Amino acid sequence: MEISHNVRITGPLASYVNRLWENLLDHGYTPKSSRNILRAIANLSCWGSRHGISFQHLHPQDLARFFAARRRAGYTAFICDQSLDAALMPLESMGAIQWIEPKVTRLNAFERLFADYAKYILIERGVGQKTALGYVKIGRRFLAKFHDVSRFNLTCLNADDVISFILKESRKYSIGTTKYAVTALRAFFHFLFRRGDTPHDLSIAVPAVAGWRMSSLPKSFEHVQVKKLLQACDRRFWRGRRDFAVLLLMTRLGLRACEVARLSLDDIDWRCGELVIRGKNRRHDRLPLPPDIGAALACHLSDRTQGIKERSIFLRERAPRRGYCTGGIQRIVDACLKRTGLPPGNSHRLRHTAATLILRRGGSLDDVAHVLRHKSHDTTAIYAKVDLTALRSVVRRWLGGEK
């Protein structure tokens, strides 16, 4: 790659400037923004050289001193936290910077507890990264509600604390969310008991949540609403082409938001017309790629900036141009629903819509199970309630009105 940044850097970081320039361009930064970031690094390298700062033993307080010195000198151009953050991570991966970990204080015992808990459920329980984050979040919320973070004492936990927390959760959240919290707390209390932090296994004190399968209909959009949602994507512009591709994947193939976010350029087999879906529990499935979805993806990818090495299909709008997380895809769906005036709902509602449309077009429950990639037919059974064609064929004639 041609070196044309024209930014002079002296000091310990000077030898990394060309590699950093290439890294910034590869991640979608414009040449102008990349030069501004290099100027920030030039200032840091020069300041560190004058003050004897070792970038192999860098402390977060050194950066605070750097910013304070620049503000006192009146040099604020091109110097901000975001400018440095964009460069410090690649410099760290290149070996130019090594951080000194802050001293562990008594207050960090709370954080160490949940770091150990996350490792336990990831390795020993085998849950996914997203599930582990959710379990940790619920555990933190529980302890923060009953104990001062700075001096918490796990031996004081009792069954009343557990039941009180679940009752409050059930009043604020849905049955499904409360059940998730119950499962997470049982795992957390079992972990605490195994470590010896609690004298009793409080997982047996977590109450069950009443909720019956098949008691409600899956919420979905009607065909007219889906058509309205897709037509609202202005495909004259790149954002509309992106939204159209995302919505097609979710309403036609029933992809989850996390599965859309994980889609990579390597997952599309254009020659065979297939798409690899990286689903839950590290499961990979292959689905046929319908022509309209393939055309939408091709249109979206034609807007891709040349030279970006990121393999994700859907990239963030601003640099660094990395792939979307699950929340980013959900925000795209939320914006589309708001724009069309449709009732709000999470992105999973589009997955229910895909299943419902398959049935209303004459498909079977086996077809739904195949498209949605259900491991068990019990999961697909809930859609039997919306299969009106099949239900009409088994309904008995009402004889109450006959004489």
Q: What is the pLDDT of residue 295?
A: 96
The residues with which 200 forms a beta bridge, in sequence order, are none
CA distance 24 to 125: 38
Q: What is the pLDDT of residue 67?
A: 82
Query: Which positions are annotated as active-site residues?
Result: 256, 280, 348, 351, 374, 383
Greatest mean pLDDT range, 322-326, 373-377, 396-400:
322-326
State pLDDT tens for residues 197-242. 899 899 999 998 876 665 566 788 888 999 999 999 999 999 999 9
State pLDDT tens for residues 183-205. 999 999 999 999 988 998 999 99
Q: Which 3-state string (H, E, C) describes 38-78?
A: HHHHHHHHHHHHHCCCCHHHECHHHHHHHHHHHHHHCCCCC
Cα distances (Å, whole numbers) of residue 134 to 37, 111, 141, 273, 403: 35, 15, 11, 36, 61
Domain residue spans of the chain: 14-94, 106-205, 223-392
Instruction: With beta carbons less than 8 A apart as the criterion, state whether 202 and 192 touch.
Output: yes
State pLDDT tens for residues 83-92. 677 788 888 8
Q: Helix (H) and strand (E) counts for the chain?
A: 17, 3
Instruction: With beta carbons less than 8 A apart as the criterion, state whether 389 and 398 touch.
Output: no
Whether 106-205 and 223-392 share one fold: the answer is no
Look at 104 and 283; give whichever has higher pLDDT.
Answer: 283
What is the CATH number that goes with domain 106-205?
A: 1.10.150.130
Q: What is the pLDDT of residue 71?
A: 78
CA distance 49 to 318: 32
Q: What is the pLDDT of residue 83?
A: 65
Q: What is the pLDDT of residue 106?
A: 43
Lowest mean pLDDT among 71-80, 81-90, 323-332, 368-377: 71-80
Mean pLDDT of 139-153: 73
Helix axes 291-301, 238-252, angle to 10 degrees: 150
Q: What is the pLDDT of residue 105?
A: 44
Mean pLDDT of 284-313: 92
CA distance 5 to 207: 62
- Asked if residue 77 has pLDDT above 60, the reply is no
Q: Which 3-state string (H, E, C) describes 360-393?
A: HCCCCHHHHHHHHCCCCHHHHHHHHHHCHHHHHH
Tokens of 77: 């151009």
Residue 267 CB coordination number (10 Å): 19
What is the CATH number that goes with domain 223-392?
A: 1.10.443.10
